[in-house]
Structure 1
Amino acid sequence: MTSWVNQVFCEDALTGLARIPDGSVDLILTDPPYNLGKDYGNASDQQTVDAYLAWTEQWIDAALPKLKANGSLYIFLTWRFSPEIFVMLKKRMTMMNEIIWDRRVPSMGGSVRSYSSVHDTIGFFVNRKDYYFDLDAVRIPYDAATKKARSRSIFIGAKWLEVGYNPKDLWSVSRLHREHPERADHPTQKPLEIIERMIKASCPPGGVVLDPFMGSGTTALAAQRCERNFVGFELNPDYCAIIESRLAAPKLEPTRKAAKRKSAATAVATEEQA
């Protein structure tokens, strides 16, 4: 494996992307600064609108050549700038979905002059029609009640009933609260559940995921957990230290569903031994 794979470089992505050969990455998955004034230890999220959009176009044009011909891109955005950035990307790729991440924010506080913003916008783009997409890897199982309701003979043997349904374009996953076991010291950390879904669906096993803005390293950790390779960049040395720590102990951060499955399996095994 080449020297740049499974590395997070503590440097500016616009400089570091030169490390990566063109056409070598299966998936770009990134959560760039939203330009909402968040403190990332630098001024990356505090630009004028024109400067922010120009910078966005600059890194997009530097990153997209790294994708393979059948590669894909997921980008987290705020509704404030997603229209302009989606137009940028539509000139370069094919847009497959606008995904809405419902952060499950409690109905309290917020503006009294507009509706409370409780979602992030995610764009899913591809290079060409034969892009990699493994739907079976991310299907959502039907519950027992649904399966029972579909017990008539016309449903017997239906694959979709056994393997589950296609995730919709509205993803309701709680944001990471301060007490959450996944939580690192980063203001805009994304849940592993969301990132792992994207990687399983859009990066083949053994493939490479690129994240130009690693933040707390969730993309790298999710890739490691899903048995994919990763590469990325992060400007803040403190965040680079967090990433190194998280990657060194991935087993300490099971997703809640995985933890519940493990607990249930342990309980069953204990009952069988009793």
Structure 2
Amino acid sequence: MTAASDPLAGEGWLDRVHCEDALQGLQRIPDGSIDLLIADPPYGLGKDYGNDSDKLDTVEYLRWTEQWIDAALPKLKANGSLYIFLTWRYSPEIFVMLKQRMTMINEIVWDRRVPSMGGSTRRYSSVHDTIGFFAAARDYFFDLDAIRIPYDEQTKKARSRAIFVGAKWLEMGYNPKDVWSVSRLHREHKERADHPTQKPLEIVERMVKASCPPGGVVLDPFMGSGTTAVAARRCGRRFAGFELNPDYCELIRQRLAALAPSNQQDEQVTG
């Protein structure tokens, strides 16, 4: 399919997922052009992504992580932010790397709602991912109102005293906490695509709405199944990203093509 015949075709680096290594592709992204960076890199667990990207030993993995961090962070605007998905295995080391370059705002625990079945007999079962939220400067963009969680009517009724009448927090909802209980995408989940570590739209859309202004740009160096691109499009933001595996690049193209017409703009997955 040519760019001219592809309804997802775009121009330049925006609204594209480039099917290439992020370390090379990031060189083409202009510095200071990105509002939000969402990174879901290989965790160093030996997962099969159709390549050896998750099969580095500890020293190589941390060296590679520092390389892509140093390549990606200059792309952020002065008030830009970063979310990074990790596990307990390497989050301490990587958080230290990032603290030397940015301000850490939150450590978010994603409770994946793993059912109580089986598990290790020599340690506690791991049922969460760790998410680091970092900002480039103190005046980072953050839209709390866009992600407030509504109170139910019973709670609103209980807060009927005069001091609560008209309170913004009561009418609009409360601030999400730093533990996010969102089910992982099990095999029967309606969102599930053919990717071993696909992240839920609910989580990524919260990041986009909170930390990227409307019309802003989200960058994902490790697109995987394309959830960041889908979330950006659904939320009225632009995106750019990279993915090594051509099969996943095709999956992303299909997911973007399946969006409602009102969510689509000219865009393309390029090889």
Common topology (TM > 0.5): yes
How far the C-alpha of 1:2 sits from its partner, in A, is: 5.9
- 2:30 pairs with 1:27: no
2:7 alignment partner in structure 1 = none
2:172 alignment partner in structure 1 = 163
1:184 alignment partner in structure 2 = 193
Task: Provide the rounded CA distance (Å) in 1 between the counterparts of 2:259 and 2:112.
Answer: 24
Task: Provide the rounded CA distance (Å) in 1 between the counterparts of 2:13 and 2:167.
Answer: 44
Structure having the higher helix fraction is: 1
Task: Provide the rounded CA distance (Å) in 1 between the counterparts of 2:151 and 2:91.
Answer: 33
2:260 alignment partner in structure 1 = 251
- 2:146 pairs with 1:137: yes
Which of 83, 95, 116 does residue 107 from structure 1 map onto? 116
How far the C-alpha of 1:251 sits from its partner, in A, is: 3.4
Amino acid at match of 1:28: L
1:228 alignment partner in structure 2 = 237
Task: Provide the rounded CA distance (Å) in 2 between the counterparts of 1:56 and 1:142.
Answer: 40
1:219 alignment partner in structure 2 = 228
Which of 52, 67, 71 does residue 76 from structure 2 map onto? 67
How far the C-alpha of 1:106 sits from its partner, in A, is: 0.2
RMSD: 1.3
Task: Provide the rounded CA distance (Å) in 2 between the counterparts of 1:53 and 1:11.
Answer: 21
Task: Provide the rounded CA distance (Å) in 2 between the counterparts of 1:239 and 1:204.
Answer: 28
Amino acid at match of 2:226: G
Task: Provide the rounded CA distance (Å) in 2 between the counterparts of 1:77 and 1:240.
Answer: 22
1:268 alignment partner in structure 2 = none
Amino acid at match of 1:76: F
How far the C-alpha of 1:183 sits from its partner, in A, is: 0.6
1:190-215 Cα deviation digits (max 9, x unpaired): 00000000000000000000000000
Task: Provide the rounded CA distance (Å) in 2 between the counterparts of 1:70 and 1:158.
Answer: 29
2:15 alignment partner in structure 1 = 6
Which of 100, 119, 122 does residue 91 from structure 1 map onto? 100
Unpaired runs of at least 5, structure 1 = 255-274
Amino acid at match of 1:52: Y
1:24-78 Cα deviation digits (max 9, x unpaired): 0000001000010110000010110000000000000000000000000000001
1:62-120 Cα deviation digits (max 9, x unpaired): 00000000000000001110000000000000000000000000011110011010000
TM-score under structure 1 length normalisation: 0.91
Task: Provide the rounded CA distance (Å) in 1 between the counterparts of 2:26 and 2:259.
Answer: 26
SS of the residue aligned with 1:250? coil
Task: Provide the rounded CA distance (Å) in 2 between the counterparts of 1:72 and 1:2.
Answer: 25
How far the C-alpha of 1:141 sits from its partner, in A, is: 0.2
Q: How many percent of aligned residue pairs carry the same amino acid? A: 78
Unpaired runs of at least 5, structure 2 = 1-9, 264-271
2:59 alignment partner in structure 1 = 50
Task: Provide the rounded CA distance (Å) in 2 between the counterparts of 1:2 and 1:247.
Answer: 16
- Superposition misfits of 4+ residues, deviation over 2 angstroms: none
SS of the residue aligned with 2:126? coil
Task: Provide the rounded CA distance (Å) in 1 between the counterparts of 2:145 and 2:50.
Answer: 40
- 2:217 pairs with 1:198: no
2:86 alignment partner in structure 1 = 77
Which of 39, 51, 60 does residue 48 from structure 2 map onto? 39
Amino acid at match of 1:18: Q
Higher relative contact order (CA closer than 8 Å, sequence separation 6+): 2
2:6 alignment partner in structure 1 = none
